[in-house]
Amino acid sequence: MKNICITTVTCAYLRAFLRNLWKTVVFCFILTFLFHASFHGFTVLAGERTVIVIQSQPIAAYNEAIKGFEESCKRNNVSIAGIYDLKGDIDEGKRVIKNIKDDKLRPDLILAVGILATTLVKEQFTDIPIIFCMVINHERFNLEGSNITGISSEASIRDQFAVLKELLGTADKNVGVIYDPKETGSIISEAVSIVGKSNFNLVKTEVTSGNQVASALKNIVNKIDALWIVPDGTVVTKESLEIILKMSLKHRLPVFCTSSAIVRAGALVSISPDYRQTGIQAAQLAQTLLTNSTVISLGVKQPDKLKVTLNTQTAGIIRVDISPLRSRPDVVLYP
């Protein structure tokens, strides 16, 4: 009986020992797996050219541009060492920038997406090539620099009025624009010389606050054939946009702009960059900079590919024939 008890105790002890040993092996395996998994997306081979991506906040347009950038980098064997999201918070941005600068891995190039990321990166990295994109009205933010390359987030004025000409025909038309000279004065100055060659007459109205937009529009609404909304922070507010869109529908006035979001809100047509293609274009610029160490800036480029967004519901209300634009390969119909 004593021998049986000893054997039973020994077997029980052995089973417990094996269970604990197995748990230890599994635990170590999991730790090893998690360690490798955590760094999988950030593994960089010796001598490999690397870039990092810093986005201002997680919005759909930025994500689409980053997706295009990732896809093109992968095809061209450019390694992305990390993608950082500032979450629209300047303090978070400063923390992220500090962590990047403290890291031993120095990137060969930085892609900054949006104005917050771009301004912080420009201030903190003066000797690394930087590409910025998705910055609306970039001219007013003083983003020039010997290491700065950018992609404009607006279609050129020439392209915008070419689309309007397709829509409204070749007859002379008066186009109204409300703007704050401090915000978009340079855009309007450039437009004056271009618009005249496209059989359009620009009817300009200056404002200095959003409260003046309604009265400014009332003063010109019966004198114009279309309204051009430029990316002006004084004019383009939630309140003023509601006024502009309501009044334009009432007077059957076509509104064109560079934002598909404003088209979804009720404007007739927008001419804007294709966001995914913007990311692809950024990757192509990155490839050029990474393969030529003597060049650290390529200037600010116009977007390679545009899209035209049409609000078919608005077209019906204001009785504008949009058939001239329907056959374009880059057209998006809403809703």
What secondary structure, in 3-state letters, does 119-163 show? HHHHHHCCCCCEEEECCCCHHHHCCCCCCEEEECCCCCHHHHHHH
| Domain co-membership, 188 together with 287 | no
pLDDT for res 106: 87
Q: Which helix (H) or strand (E) holds 270?
A: strand 269-273
| Domain co-membership, 215 together with 89 | no
| Domain co-membership, 257 together with 328 | yes
**Does any domain span residue 149?**
yes
**Does any domain span residue 161?**
yes
Strand partners, 226: 175
**Does any domain span residue 30?**
no
| Domain co-membership, 201 together with 163 | yes
| Domain co-membership, 218 together with 310 | yes
| Domain co-membership, 103 together with 234 | no
CATH number of the domain residue 116 falls in: 3.40.50.2300
**Does any domain span residue 169?**
yes
Q: 3-class SS at 178? A: strand
**Does any domain span residue 248?**
yes
Domain count, the chain: 2
**Does any domain span residue 87?**
yes
Task: State the DSSP string of 278-316.
Answer: HHHHHHHHHHHHHT-TT----EEEPPS-EEEEEEHHHHH
Torsion over CA: 170, 176, 182, 184 (sign): negative
Q: 3-class SS at 207? A: coil
**237 Cβ neighbours under 8 A, 6+ residues apart:** 210
| Domain co-membership, 95 together with 129 | yes
**Does any domain span residue 39?**
no
The tokens for 40 are: 């999988």
| Domain co-membership, 261 together with 330 | yes
Q: In order along the chain (335 residues), what is the average pLDDT of each group of 10 residues?
A: 39 41 36 31 58 97 97 93 97 95 89 98 96 95 95 96 92 95 96 88 97 98 98 96 98 97 97 97 97 93 97 98 93 96
| Domain co-membership, 233 together with 330 | yes
pLDDT for res 36: 32
**Does any domain span residue 14?**
no
| Domain co-membership, 237 together with 180 | yes
pLDDT for res 28: 35
pLDDT for res 47: 55
Which domain does 317 fall in, by range?
157-273+306-334
In angstroms, the CA 200 to CA 164 distance is 10
| Domain co-membership, 244 together with 283 | no
pLDDT for res 141: 93
| Domain co-membership, 161 together with 232 | yes
